[in-house]
Structure 1
């Protein structure tokens, strides 16, 4: 099915899930961002899949290949596209499984589309056909030095690599990341960057701030009323990478919890949803809480719930 046909089917008014893509390089924070969304929506309404499961080769087989897992030839992207189309039209799939702990391809699993489907991984925005399946698209774009640190910590602690192996693989992947992963940034409705504030010289351990590029490809909530006068949260008109003007939401890492909760409540009230702001937002892998992460997750929840 062509990308235009997929968009027409999804716009036809029949029952279908609301789908969001969260793309980015390895260890960019995709799983952390996804985990909070799944917890907020609940397993009865939300299912998440990782399209890194569509790797064509296991870890041992990849050692002798002239490319890495970041190359399209190393992934079954055609099958991924077929499965995204099925999910986007409310049909189940038999998804492959790649075990990151062992590096082996495991038994496929059946995935039923729930009311919300979150798709995260290296390649969800790689093609027009894949992008046509989503209501909201996100790209995670941390500074490279921070991402390398995250990957080093994760792969040595959870995936059995030595520090030397991780650093060598990062260098080996650099060209393919630039060629195949980073170009997806231009196709995202929202670009998220967790990083220190460039103009400040905060001491080590200062919580990372969030910068969200809010492209006009989808309708974003008007936050001007609640953000007026805040020094640690504000929206600025900036220039995107293509030179076009775009709104950018900045949330400082040291934003007071009270101010953060005020903004979260305001976003939640715009949706006219029952109950309070969902618990579990902003939780990092360490168990600590990040207010910039919580606000980022809530803004994505806004778009998911607003698309119903």
Structure 2
């Protein structure tokens, strides 16, 4: 298998799945900006919609349904990308709801695939080295979707709420089941029971399943004074009842306390990046002007997995 850049190694493939407005693009954007476009290719599999917005209006299903997407073509393209081969990818323009001219995509050292259904089939899942599912609380995701679709896609709040209600059966049937296939489940949310001031960054909970080798974080938490305030690791029961490590990253702590954790992780886990990072400050950037330390730490751990997988392939 040859990589498109001719290095003789396949690219490292990362999937980020989740429902509409779950935060997939925000999570992806920071990683792409950090590693740079020369090393990172980002693909949105929502471009594989079978129908445009006008055509979907007359169909008995929504964009979340597999029958509304070219799943077979998506699978073929993921296989090609995983072997380092270029593809001619369809393009869905979310601002207009139309299918527009396809675009060529060249896989770089790393390929991030984000969207509604990247983990829907066994064949698609087999293409990935690391899989992530974003699982925000539904009321929070609904508020994000209303804000985004009204601002960027021309909908009214009532239209978005009606579409959310229409999509719910298919979300339950096709989107949320992908959660069980993820190596890492990420939930950004307020801490239950806390009343924080407005503007407090959301905390993050990461379920680290033993399907891949995660970094040893105990040393980071134990060795750095104050690190345990910003982040802690606990044993948790997954939805299937099995024990799993749950990493909690607190959004309410001071930037100085979060910086302790970020520096400690960089020192222990970020060394493999060497001088290859284009914009490390991109980690933690939100869609607007704000930043989030829990988001930055989540992206930093995903960056570790990308670089570790690349290092192991090189070896």
- Native 8 Å contact 2:132 2:184 kept in 1: yes
Please point out which of 237, 259, 270 is paired with 1:261. Answer: 259
Partner in structure 2 of residue 128 of structure 1? 122
Residue of 221, 227, 236 corresponding to 1:238:
236
Indicate conservation of the 8 Å contact 1:210/1:293, yes or no: yes
Cα offset for 1:232?
2.9
Tell me the residue number matched to 1:272: 271
Displaced runs of 4 or more, over 4 A? none
8 Å CA contact 2:196–2:252 kept in 1: the answer is: no
**Residues 245-287 of structure 1, C-alpha deviation per residue, up to 9 Å, x if partnerless?**
0101101111222232222222223242325891211011121
CA–CA distance in structure 1, aligned partners of residues 290 and 136 of structure 2: 19
- Specify the SS of the correspondent of 1:272: helix
Aligned counterpart, 1:249: 247
The answer for the alignment partner of 2:159 in structure 1 is: 165
Residue in structure 2 matching 1:290, options 284, 289, 292: 292
In 2 relative to 1, CA 261–206 (structure 1 residues): closer, same or farther, beyond 3 Å?
closer
Aligned to 2:313: none
Tell me by how many angstroms 1:17 deviates: 0.4
C-alpha distance in structure 1 between counterparts of 2:13 and 2:39, whole Å: 12
Distance 2:260 2:196 in 1: 25
Alpha-carbon offset, residue 203 of structure 1: 4.1
| TM-score, length basis structure 2 | 0.91
Alignment equivalent of 1:302, drawn from 301, 304, 307: 304
* Alignment pair present for 1:150 and 2:148: no
What is aligned with 1:192?
186
SS of the counterpart of 1:301? helix
Give me the whole-angstrom Cα distance separating, in 2, the residues matched to 1:261 and 1:145.
Answer: 30
Q: RMSD across aligned C-alpha pairs, in angstroms?
A: 1.6
Q: Deviations over 1:16-56 (max 9, x none)?
A: 10010000000000000000000011011001010000000
CA shift digits 1:189-231 (9 cap, x unpaired): 0000000111323344332100000001111111112223623
Structure 2: where are the runs of 5+ without partners? 2-6, 311-315
When the two structures are superposed, what TM-score results if normalisation uses the length of structure 1?
Answer: 0.93
CA contact (8 A) 2:230 2:258 kept: no
Aligned to 2:245, the other structure's residue is in SS state strand
Aligned length: 297
How far apart, CA to CA, are the structure 2 residues paired with 1:287 and 1:218? 34
